[in-house]
Structure 1
């Protein structure tokens, strides 16, 4: 073998050494998105640079031609694997497995085979001969059409990869910009050097500096890998996550342009709106959904017939804008609210029945019970009438409590600064009048102010105090006190304590488990009103039994705390 060392081989051999070093560090990341494909890219780079570096020292024409096979293998496949890596890395892996990538790989395989058999047909080049430059065994030949086809594919694939990377740089946010722009810029130097060789630009057209320029390419890759953690923060996670958020969502999602033409739909939208696949992308939104929608309305309702049934949907429309802020379309999310609306209708009907019909009938029952009680001398009949009257009044009070809670919940929230000491005192005074035999004590310092809804706070405390007084025996004692004022800086914790038998465990369990059934249920609405009121205020309730019951209520929204002297 005629080997003549030359300094021109240092560039490609340096790139070869850098490739081997890089492969050693890339190997642990082979399972990451695009990992194997990036390794394949660097392997092609190592083959190309190593073969060209050695070839520059081989002056024997026959042997020198043999080195063209690994050189053109690396050159033909490096951009194939690089584009595949970029697609996988940015979350477009389905394109890597498409028939188009298969055709590209087949074309480049054909190119390598034509290079290997070129002496038989000269489709890649002709007039091949060694033309030394500065002692290096460079070669010159006449470029034939297939060589230009191969190189056009080379530039097309590399350029496509750059476009995808620039799109990721623009679209995926600050987290991925460093690595995506570095990998995109890495192609500029080798592309420029290769174009100069292909079109024989410069004083020594036989010298191909592409392999030396690949060292610059590797420098950008090193930065992306070692400094920007390119395989620890991959754009694929964001793109796939965004796509999954739409296409894998169990709620219909439709994307339409500004004219109302459907651009994309997820699987659930296809199932609901177009089970027979007769409409879809390209059709108008109204024809797909079967209802007229206002794209500019943020929230609206739509009635859709699907599976032979009429369904009600709450439609949320969000504008989609391009990078300049120009509105280009809308994303519409369809939330099936059929069950909720039917439930609401049933509750409204039941509420009307309870509010009007049952209330009127209870008034009649109580009136007749009073007449029977007052009009008889029979103690047994009088006792029965009293029982009917007591239960009737209890049911009426239960209905009144439900209506009071409904008014508090359905009305507008009137949040304002409330002095808690004064509010607690008002509630206590109301019950002192109603329950003269009960003892109600308060221990809430002046100066504690909350930003809250006083009507709901009053409703909550009233139900707790009433519950304690009614179940506290013949001489009930209730205390309302501020507990641990400094434990939660933005909340106040009130404790309502009584010395009665305590709230039964099964009634507390109903609240903590979130529902009632035939076996476990409460005896009324009081504790539910407490739970719902605390939740509406953003607080919570807890229960403790120890010689009575202590109910702790956390109320958020503290704006002013009492001074130590006031406490």
Structure 2
């Protein structure tokens, strides 16, 4: 039988060596979440198994194996709890509760040591089991088995919650706790029935747990990716957002909010938890379901009146169970003021330019009547130029207000051909070459505006004929404008390439900016030939 010193001892010695090797292999994980608990568990199993091998090899009383197995179970429970709690990112109350529960296995370790030293009976009779024995060993045994099984189930369940933590890995890691609970219970039952001897049971227990550790390391790969990263990562992202986020249940009652929301509303979560959302937001801005109905809402706080864009998203526990809503509020006050300022300035500029140019034309006519036609013509040219700039600025502004999204396809080839036809009627030398399908699922109006600005810019600056090519290139449609001479000035190229203007680098023409902005709004890009200035292209995504 395996209880023979020449068989059981060496087998357990080999198992102890294997545990030691795994502890050594995992030693680098001590600085990772839960790593210390995992390494301590495997190292404890190595020490206990080595002690059991010594007991069998030396021929000492086999009942000594029972308290040694208890040390492995109780100590292993504490280590397993430390590993699972840290590994899965459990914090706060969950960690405190598990810590308190883990006191029982720690007490059990003390009781097992007292059995080894025979302060407590090594083989107690039923009548001899007293309150001290139950307190130090009975209760910790029940709690330990419950913790080992419960934490193993928790670890396997987490594998279904996080995309980065595969189910096979969770199940493989859970085998460690499951085997540490099941194997001693099974062998104890078999020993009580006389099916196996105590030394045989010790060999079976440690071999089973070793097999579980081997599978966990090979399949579970505990530190390939961590569920704690996803668990804490989600919380950290929401907590550290500059945008205020309030989470409400299905009845629009507050259940959570981040630090930005607490700062905005100047209320702590504890003050408003389980209160309706109207405790934070004016009830007049909420619909019948207690959620905001407007896309932008005002809020009056200590910093004055601010405006917020509101986004309401459903929160689901899984694919079917809806848990509530996340209400995100982004401060758009500065953007709102900036937009209003630009609108006012543009309106005043256009109004003043139009009125002032009317006066300039009248003065030019008066100068012409006085006989100085040359000065009058110069005045008219200057006025025409300013009016043209004003009109182009208006056109650019209007094109930037267009919605780039569209359910219908826009035929880029047809749009370019139409623009080129108009320019040819105005006397420009423009040719168009198209190649196959050139449809994009973008706003036809915005695509047409970009093509118009692009071709107008090229023909207005080129001294040679302009050739336009439209072709499909994978997931994009390319519109390329070329000419033999340079039509893209270096300062225009530098300005749009750098994404901004300086005193030394500024675009002389609004239209090149209109092309660049329009392309970005479509999800594409401007492709200028900065070196030679003979080529300017636009890439537009098909989808």
Shift of 1:18: 3.4
Among 338, 344, 354, the residue aligned to 2:339: 344
Change (3 A) 1:461 1:106: closer
CA contact (8 A) 2:244 2:330 kept: yes
Among 79, 82, 85, the residue aligned to 1:81: 79
Deviation per CA, 1:254-285, whole angstroms, max 9, x where unpaired? 22211222222222222222356772433333
Shift of 1:376: 1.7
Shift of 1:107: 5.2
CA contact (8 A) 1:19 1:42 kept: yes
Which SS does the other structure have where 1:92 is aligned? coil
Which SS does the other structure have where 2:529 is aligned? strand
CA contact (8 A) 1:465 1:478 kept: no
- d(CA) in 2 for partners of 1:111 and 1:489? 66
- d(CA) in 2 for partners of 1:546 and 1:30? 56
- d(CA) in 1 for partners of 2:517 and 2:398? 13
Change (3 A) 1:516 1:486: closer
CA contact (8 A) 1:510 1:516 kept: yes
Shift of 1:38: 0.5
- d(CA) in 2 for partners of 1:440 and 1:10? 95
Q: TM-score, normalised by structure 1?
A: 0.79
> Which residue of the partner structure matches residue 361 of structure 1?
355
Shift of 1:325: 1.1
Unpaired segments ≥5 residues, structure 2: none
Among 89, 92, 110, the residue aligned to 2:90: 92
Among 194, 211, 217, the residue aligned to 1:225: 217
CA contact (8 A) 1:40 1:81 kept: yes
Among 535, 556, 565, the residue aligned to 2:540: 556
Shift of 1:337: 1.5
Matched, 1:491 2:477: yes
Shift of 1:368: 1.3
- d(CA) in 2 for partners of 1:454 and 1:105? 66
Shift of 1:12: 5.1
> Which residue of the partner structure matches residue 478 of structure 1?
465
Shift of 1:115: 4.8
Among 429, 439, 447, the residue aligned to 1:450: 439
> Which residue of the partner structure matches residue 440 of structure 1?
429
- d(CA) in 2 for partners of 1:188 and 1:151? 15
- d(CA) in 2 for partners of 1:130 and 1:327? 55
Among 374, 379, 393, the residue aligned to 1:402: 393
Which SS does the other structure have where 2:166 is aligned? helix
Shift of 1:168: 0.6
Unpaired segments ≥5 residues, structure 1: 132-138, 560-567
Change (3 A) 1:18 1:270: same
Matched, 1:177 2:167: yes
> Which residue of the partner structure matches residue 525 of structure 2?
540
Among 363, 366, 375, the residue aligned to 2:369: 375
Change (3 A) 1:235 1:477: same
Which SS does the other structure have where 2:160 is aligned? helix
CA contact (8 A) 1:12 1:50 kept: yes
Deviation per CA, 1:299-336, whole angstroms, max 9, x where unpaired? 73332334432222222222122346121212222222
> Which residue of the partner structure matches residue 20 of structure 2?
20
Shift of 1:84: 0.8
Among 250, 255, 268, the residue aligned to 2:247: 255
CA contact (8 A) 1:495 1:552 kept: yes
Aligned residues: 530
Shift of 1:340: 1.4
> Which residue of the partner structure matches residue 135 of structure 1?
none
1:54-203 to structure 2, matched below 5 A, reads: 54-56=54-56, 72-92=70-90, 103=100, 108-117=105-114, 125-126=120-121, 128-129=122-123, 142=129, 144-146=133-135, 147-173=137-163, 175-195=165-185, 202-203=192-193
> Which residue of the partner structure matches residue 308 of structure 2?
313
Q: TM-score, normalised by structure 2?
A: 0.82
Shift of 1:161: 1.4
Shift of 1:496: 3.2
> Which residue of the partner structure matches residue 300 of structure 1?
295
- d(CA) in 2 for partners of 1:371 and 1:231? 84
Change (3 A) 1:385 1:498: farther
- d(CA) in 2 for partners of 1:8 and 1:170? 40
Q: What's the C-alpha RMSD, in Å, of the aligned pairs?
A: 4.0
CA contact (8 A) 2:37 2:82 kept: yes
- d(CA) in 1 for partners of 2:143 and 2:11? 25
Change (3 A) 1:376 1:495: same
After the TM superposition, which of the residue ranges 387-396 and 6-15 deviates more from structure 2? 6-15
Change (3 A) 1:336 1:166: same
Shift of 1:293: 4.2
